[in-house]
Amino acid sequence: MTTLSNHVPDPRLITAYAEHRDSPVHRVNAWTKFGTVGALVLAVTVADSLPVLTGLYAATLVVYGVAGLPYRRLLYWYTLPLLFVVSVAVPLAVLEPGTPIGGALGTPLGALSVTWQGAILFAELSCRSLTVVTFALAATMTTRYADVAYLLGRVLPTPIDQVTLLTYRFTFVMVETLEALVRAVLARGATLSEFWANRRTYARILGMTLLTAIERSERLVKSMEARGYDGDITLYGDVPRPPIREIVVLVAVYAAVVGYALIAVYGVVSL
Amino acid sequence: MAHIHLGEGSFPLWAVALWTLVGVTLIGIVVYRLRRGGIKTHQIALAGIGAAASFAVFQLNLPVWGGIHMNLTGLVGILAGPALGALIALVVNVFSAALGHGAVGLLGANTLVNATEAIAAYYIFRTLLRMDWDVFPATASAATIGLSAGAVLMGAIIVVSGVNGSALPRADLTVAVAGLVGLNLGVAVVEGILTGFVVQFLASVRPDLLDLIDRERGEEDPAGVAA
């Protein structure tokens, strides 16, 4: 039976964790979390050592736990990111030159074997990906809706910010619409277990979802214009500048990442 | 929706910078063109809710090859047009990255791939309609070709960038990536056919959405033409 996937994080659950839970990570300033995502992206891009990458991943798992977020669901949510890593890293693990692990498998194309270098590459790619996935989820699940909206409104240029704010607002509505349509189809006896046999049912579900979206957008235009929309959706919230101790920590994190890259990775600076 | 099927940190720093720059340039051009023409409220609303619908559709698990997810980028391009389609691709990628799907550092590359899908699907769809194709084959073909273009571009981006930490020569990397691109081409056909059915359904209930009213009137009124 096909329903909404549990491999993709439900934005309603994400927001519920952000709005109704409390933890030390919830109390960190939204700008600090945003800056930390950037530092982590830079760190996993430049780091070239498996122990360092494993350490970074372990640290983000600890942050996720401190935030009181569910590890079991995280395992489900890892499915797609890991699938992406596997889809490229598995062929690379076989093709990567190096010392074979165990014996080689004879094939018409030649001997195939997973090498130590290939296995390490797979582990590195997994750690890189999961580090940022884990922290991004931790950040979104501990930052209130109003704060996320404020950041999006401040960071993105017009009209991207306007589109993004409307998307954020209506994602919840569209997920509920889609869920209701699937539930209605299932209640009428559809199984949806096979795609090809049910292709027209799927088309109707998706078509109705888009039709609902378009009709909502038409109603929204009228309401926006009636309220005197002039290219700016007013945000009443505010995310203040991070406290000084968070700024110091963030600067130290960036300095550590840049320093590590310059000294240990690129060898630009020698100690 | 073809993605760069690599997680965060898979490209070297120069490649992350390069694709970010290319992505920013593309979106910069789109924003400039939209601003120059004067952004209409309905464009903002359609792009915002269209992106929300695209993001919501991604939550649906389709029972093909054990389960696939789609964003219907080709469909979004056909309905919203090339400029708004590119903006929607960016916004959907931003939200996907925030939920751990896709990558923050690869936003530029992902947007480039998905915007290509939306733009190609739109222009191919319009060309095929002008050639008097029916809605279903025109949409299915346009979406399949657009998504295939995205899949090939995705493979090219990976081969040009190289994989962080891999000593594999470019030729061998091309072999490794070819399987991934092939898989995406298969998904493109499935998504293309589904897009065809969706647009056929939309055309039956709201032909105005696809600017098909004049075309239908022309077909329904042969006497007028004869007179």
Going from N- to C-terminal start, the domains of chain A cover 1-144+240-260, 159-231
Rounded percentage of chain B residues whose pLDDT exceeds 90: 43
Interval A212-243: pLDDT, tens = 888 888 888 888 878 877 767 767 778 899 99
Token digits for A82?
A: 């890991």
The helix (H) or strand (E) run that includes residue B41 is: helix B41-57
Please enumerate in sequence order all residues whose Cβ is within 8 A of that of A39, keeping only pairs 6 or more positions apart, or say none: A250, A253, A254, A257
Question: Does the pLDDT of residue B213 top 70, yes or no?
Answer: no
Contact B52/A225, CB-based, under 8 Å? no
> Residues A207, B202: contact at Cβ < 8 Å?
yes
Instruction: Describe the crossing of helices B13-36 and B107-130 by its angle, rounded to 10 degrees.
Output: 50
CB pair distance less than 8 Å for A84 and B3: yes
Give the count of Cβ contacts less than 8 A between chain A and B.
291
A254 pLDDT more than 70: yes
pTM beyond 0.80, yes or no: yes
B163 and A159: CB-CB below 8 Å?
no
Best mutation target, B14, B27, B44, B84, to test chain A (most A CBs within 10 A) = B44
CB contact at 8 A, B72 and B191: yes
- Cα–Cα distance between A13 and A19 in angstroms, integer? 10
Integer Cα distance of B7 and A81 in angstroms = 6
Mutate to test the interface with B, among A1, A6, A7, A8 (most CBs of B within 10 A): A8
User: To the nearest whole percent, how much of chain B has pLDDT over 70?
Assistant: 88
CB B53 within 8 A of CB A209: yes
- Say whether pLDDT at A110 is over 90: no
Domains in chain B: ranges and CATH: 13-213 (1.10.1760.20)
A125 touches chain B (CB under 8 A): yes
Q: If you average pLDDT over residues A101-117, what whole number do you get?
A: 74
| pLDDT at residue B215, rounded to an integer | 52
